[in-house]
Amino acid sequence: MTLPNTIEVTRYEQNRFLTYPHANSFADGGESLVVGEYDGTGYALVKTDIATGRDVAQYPFPIKRTGHSLPAYDIARETNRLFFIDDKALWIIDLDAATPPQLVYRGDLSLIDIVSASADGTRVVGGAKAAEGYVGFEINIATGKATTTFEYPWWVNHVQYCPFDESIIGFCHEGPTEQIPQRVWAYTNGNSRCVFDQRWDDESTRLFVGHERWAFHDASVLAVAYGVSIGGPRGIYEAFTDNRPSRLVSEGNRDFHLDISRDGRWVAVDTTGPHDLPGKGWENAGPHSDVLIIDRTIGTRQCLARSTQNTISSHAHPVFSPDGRWIYYHQTDDNVQHWRVMKVANPWTD
């Protein structure tokens, strides 16, 4: 099922993809898109002009990666500096100068793949493997110096600046959601704490949570209570770093990944199986995933497109364009051998 208002941004034979949903694939104030490209033997990053669809520049990865392991990258929203982790090191590409990747940091920390850049591109945060667990880190781009911020004996992942207030660094306790009662964390002022109550005290009310995305409009984070949760309501929740209680944004039994528009008005969600399929979570989900838009204030939903969710590389992973007028997402072919980028218009824009 491909709804008639969807648009092909890249073709299957190009094998191109967006970065992770809480990172930024857009450059030049939203006029350009940077996508990854896999040619069967390795990866490159390709900058394209959105208006014309033409390729502007290509940047091969410095280390030859093989297999369908999609490398995440993040573009600083204000300065066109792109960052990524490769071979446990941090690299930078100056998209304005169109220079090849330059090494920023390789040192004692064994960096994991997902990275988050400050809006001005002067700092990067992420997670790293430590001897007894994981640490959070922040790297000063000018000096290449890494500072550790927090440390835990469990898997730290999805480290990201809160775009509303970059003194807040969000991260998660990664792993099987059915086994983790404290998924969503925030680090600020030298301290970290869990910011979302998953109601673990009563087994009948437990929420299994993941795929958090920190917000542009508030010191808050949105996360998915998966359909496999014992308790409910399942769906999208918003949690806060102050004393405000977490709130249900919109109920859904198949919500999977999410993004939030930069003005905070809308949430984009993909699903485990068709959104209107009876059941919850991955029950009879099949290979399909729907892309929905949600009004964050009242929770209203609308289905915009149907995509795929066979493997990590084919999750729809919907994201908003910087102006909020488009939702970009992934789709794979029937053999799950090639993927492309699609987009669909936000029907609720003014």
Mapped onto helix, strand or coil, the DSSP state of residue 319 is: strand
Judge whether residue 302 has pLDDT over 60. Answer: yes
Determine the Cα–Cα distance for residues 167 and 123; give it in Å rounded to an integer.
12
- Residue 146: its pLDDT value, please? 96
What does the pLDDT read at residue 98?
A: 79
The pLDDT-based confidence of 99 (bands split at 50, 70, 90) is: confident
Instruction: Over range 234-254, report the average pLDDT.
Output: 97
User: Lowest-confidence range among 29-33, 56-60, 103-107, 236-240?
Assistant: 56-60
How many whole angstroms separate alpha carbon 158 and alpha carbon 123? 16
C-alpha–C-alpha distance, residues 215 and 32, integer Å: 22
Pairwise pLDDT comparison (160 vs 98), residue with the higher score: 160
pLDDT exceeds cutoff 80 at 270: yes
The pLDDT confidence band at residue 153, using thresholds 50, 70 and 90, is very high
Q: Report, as an integer, the average pLDDT of 32-45.
A: 88
What is the pLDDT of the chain when averaged over all its residues?
Answer: 92
Where residue 67 falls among pLDDT bands split at 50, 70, 90?
A: low
Tell me, what amino acid is at 86?
D
Q: Determine the average pLDDT of the residues in 178-188.
A: 97
- The Cα–Cα gap between 70 and 16 comes to 10
Query: Once rounded to an integer, what is the mean pLDDT over residues 18-33?
Result: 95
Over residues 208-227, the pLDDT tens digits come to: 999 999 999 999 999 999 99
With cut-offs at 50, 70 and 90, classify the pLDDT of residue 40: confident
220-225 and 235-240 as β-strands: parallel, antiparallel, unpaired? antiparallel
Work out the average pLDDT over 155-165: 97
Strand 255-260's sheet: what is its strand order?
255-260, 266-271, 288-295, 301-308
Q: pLDDT-derived band of residue 314, with 50, 70 and 90 as boundaries?
A: low
What confidence tens digit (pLDDT) does each residue in 191-212 have? 999 999 999 999 999 999 999 9
Q: What is the mean pLDDT of residues 31-52?
A: 91
pLDDT above 60 (res 3): no
Share of the chain above pLDDT 70, in %: 95
Question: Is pLDDT above 70 for 311?
Answer: no
Predicted confidence at residue 337, as pLDDT, reads 78
Token pair listed for 269:
């969600």
Q: Which two tokens stand for residue 174?
A: 């990664």
Residue 66 has pLDDT above 70, yes or no: no
pLDDT confidence of residue 313: 56
Q: Give the per-residue pLDDT at 51.
A: 96
Token pair of 6 as six digits: 């969807």
Phi, psi of 8 (to 5 degrees): -80, 120
Pick from 188, 343, 341, 347: which is nearest to 265 by CA? 347
Distances (CA, A) of 298 to 218, 248, 326: 17, 10, 20
% helix, strand, coil for the chain, step of 5: 5, 45, 50
Cα angle 209, 210, 211 (rounded to 5 degrees) comes to: 150
Show the tokens assigned to 142.
């000018």
Residue 254 has pLDDT above 60, yes or no: yes
Residue 157 clears pLDDT 90, i.e. is over it: yes
Confidence of residue 29 (pLDDT cuts 50, 70, 90): very high
Confidence at residue 131, expressed as pLDDT on a 0 to 100 scale: 86
Model pLDDT for residues 111-139, shown as the tens digit of each residue: 998 899 999 999 999 999 998 899 999 99
Stretch 285-301: mean pLDDT: 94
